[in-house]
């Protein structure tokens, strides 16, 4: 990181390097001291689609380099990490074979969570741990567990991380913009528009029209106003979500309501009517267009992308929330995924497993300075990142993604103009509603 960037970050936060050296007090979470738990030398298997990267966190991040050895000694166990893309299939198989008695399962709303909780494979941890445990989790983790409630209960005990981000929401979505391009074309700075309350869909449209250019006159667009604006994220920016809880407590499909349809129609306008959005679904193409300076605004940057973007964007750039839609008077934050950890229903000692996860991942391990130094390259970016973490309320644009097959193609039909937004959502509504009714036994 350059000296300039270090100075900017220093202006945003007070740099305090103070790694904990005292014993971690599990009793604050309503648990027993670590030495009271004993796995009898057994192996605890941590299963995740990303567990091949988790060991690197414990090997390379200074505050936790001895954590695995400490945990193995304190809990009298061996810790093993199992990487698999077969979630929840692997989890169900281990449960049926009786191999999951000492497992911790890292899951996501779109990777195994709903299937495992609805399939009765997960332990009722809220009944076991109670309010005292959850009151100690970082606020964004509580928001996550609220969003992931099933049968009115929490089933997760907090996530696992493989970067120094624990305690922060690593999946919040932002709009990134090319500040050099904006300055060159005389466009208003998005951060200033955001602060002034003027960062709206209409403003994004106006900017995108001005920024989209065929520089050499060959009929091919060279600079795009927008890349990767996704209707499900834009819907949240308009105060809408694909599902909601109705007055009877039933989870219902809501993407056919006016505010959601406005997002689909806005995507059609940008993609087809105005031709200001790069017409590609290739994530590599979209990312390269922005990082190489050929796009003004990139509507699909998650917090976990930021460390890579800091290094690979050729121009100066910034981040802002999604612009306000016409049906809302404020900015809304959304995430691309919700992560947590669950305990198998056949666990021999579920409290010990919960205590072990709590011992391994601690909010105090990640200093604000560490988080910002990794994820923000300017004072403005740091402020937006912290505001997002403070204001995010648990909203996820694709909360039930595993049960929305068919929806994605219909949004593409809307963007291309082959179907109206209303017709597309009317077509998919009974399909998704049926899946939700089966999932929740409604």
Q: Which of 180, 411, 170 has the alpha carbon at shortest distance from 290? A: 180
Rounded mean pLDDT, 176-190: 97
Of the residues 346, 370, 386, the one at which a domain ends: 386
Q: Which of 134, 189, 126, 178 has the alpha carbon at shortest distance from 154? A: 126
Q: Are residues 359 and 242 in the same domain?
A: no
Q: For residues 295 and 325, what is the distance between their CA atoms, to the nearest angstrom?
A: 22
pLDDT attached to residue 285: 94
Percent of the chain with pLDDT over 70: 95
Rounded mean pLDDT, 28-37: 96
pLDDT at 4 over 80: no
Q: Are residues 188 and 306 in the same domain?
A: yes
Tokens 């990303």 correspond to 50
**Structural domains in the chain (count):** 2
Which residues, at least 6 apart from 85, have a Cβ–Cβ distance to it below 8 Å? 49
Rounded mean pLDDT, 405-432: 97
Q: For residues 19 and 122, what is the distance between their CA atoms, to the nearest angstrom?
A: 34
pLDDT attached to residue 227: 98
pLDDT at 95 over 90: yes
pLDDT attached to residue 220: 93
Token output for 287: 């990312």
pLDDT at 296 over 70: yes
Q: Are residues 197 and 249 in the same domain?
A: yes
Q: Are residues 156 and 36 in the same domain?
A: yes
pLDDT attached to residue 11: 40
pLDDT attached to residue 311: 85
Sign of CA dihedral 69, 71, 74, 78: negative
Band (21; pLDDT cuts 50, 70, 90): very low
Q: Are residues 304 and 378 in the same domain?
A: no
pLDDT at 114 over 90: yes
Q: Are residues 121 and 162 in the same domain?
A: yes
pLDDT attached to residue 309: 87
Rounded mean pLDDT, 361-372: 94
Rounded mean pLDDT, 228-249: 96
Q: Are residues 217 and 319 in the same domain?
A: yes
Q: Are residues 252 and 156 in the same domain?
A: no
Token output for 341: 């950890």
Q: Which of 373, 223, 386 has the alpha carbon at shortest distance from 310? A: 373
> What are the backbone dihedrals phi and psi of residue 181, each rounded to the nearest 5 degrees, phi first?
-65, -45
Q: What is the pTM of this model?
A: 0.91
Q: Are residues 380 and 231 in the same domain?
A: no
Tokens 């100066």 correspond to 316
How does DSSP classify residue 271?
I
Token output for 163: 């970067």
Average pLDDT of the chain, as a whole number: 93
Q: Are 211 and 221 within 8 A, CB to CB?
A: no
pLDDT at 223 over 80: yes
Q: Are residues 330 and 342 in the same domain?
A: no
Q: Are residues 253 and 369 in the same domain?
A: no
Q: Are residues 152 and 277 in the same domain?
A: no
pLDDT attached to residue 111: 97
pLDDT at 257 over 80: yes
Q: How does strand 43-48 pair with strand 103-108?
A: parallel
Q: Which domain holds residue 266?
A: 173-335+393-440
| Domain at 228, CATH number | 3.40.190.10
């Amino acid at each position: 990181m350059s000296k300039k960037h270090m100075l900017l970050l220093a202006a945003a936060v007070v740099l305090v390097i103070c790694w904990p050296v005292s014993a971690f007090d599990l009793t604050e979470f309503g648990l027993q001291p670590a030495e009271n738990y004993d796995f009898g030398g057994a192996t605890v298997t941590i299963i995740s689609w990303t567990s091949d990267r988790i060991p690197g966190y414990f090997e390379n991040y200074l505050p936790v380099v001895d954590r695995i050895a400490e945990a193995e000694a304190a809990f009298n166990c061996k810790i093993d990490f199992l990487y698999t893309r077969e979630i929840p299939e692997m989890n169900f198989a281990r449960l049926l074979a009786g191999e999951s008695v000492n497992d911790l399962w890292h899951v996501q709303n779109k990777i195994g969570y709903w299937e495992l909780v609805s399939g009765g494979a997960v332990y009722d941890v809220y009944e076991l741990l109670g309010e005292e445990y959850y009151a100690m989790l970082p606020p964004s983790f509580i928001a996550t567990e609220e969003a992931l409630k099933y049968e009115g209960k929490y089933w997760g005990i907090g996530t696992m991380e493989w970067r120094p981000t624990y305690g922060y929401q690593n999946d919040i979505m932002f709009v990134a913009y090319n500040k050099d391009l904006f300055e060159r074309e005389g466009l208003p700075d998005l951060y200033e528009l955001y602060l002034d309350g003027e960062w709206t869909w209409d403003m994004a449209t106006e900017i995108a029209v001005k920024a989209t250019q065929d520089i050499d006159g060959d009929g091919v667009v060279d600079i795009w106003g927008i890349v990767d604006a996704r209707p499900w994220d834009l819907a949240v920016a308009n105060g809408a979500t694909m599902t909601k809880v109705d007055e009877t407590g039933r989870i219902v499909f809501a993407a056919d309501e006016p505010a959601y349809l406005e997002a689909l129609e806005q995507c059609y306008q940008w993609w087809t009517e105005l031709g200001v959005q790069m017409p590609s679904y290739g994530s590599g193409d979209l990312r390269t267009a922005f990082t190489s300076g050929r796009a003004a605004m990139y509507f699909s940057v998650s917090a976990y992308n930021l460390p890579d973007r800091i290094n690979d964007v050729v121009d100066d750039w910034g981040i802002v929330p999604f612009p306000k839609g016409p049906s809302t008077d404020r900015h809304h934050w959304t995430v691309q995924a919700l992560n947590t950890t669950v305990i198998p229903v056949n666990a021999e000692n579920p409290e010990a497993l919960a205590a072990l996860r709590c011992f391994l991942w601690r909010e105090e391990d990640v200093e604000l300075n560490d988080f910002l130094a990794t994820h923000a390259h300017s004072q403005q970016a740091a402020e937006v990142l912290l505001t997002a973490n403070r204001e995010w309320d648990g909203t996820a644009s694709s909360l039930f993604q595993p049960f929305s097959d068919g929806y994605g193609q219909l949004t593409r039909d809307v963007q291309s103009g082959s179907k109206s937004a209303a017709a597309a959502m009317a077509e998919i509504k009974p399909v998704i509603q049926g899946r939700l009714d089966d999932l929740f036994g409604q």
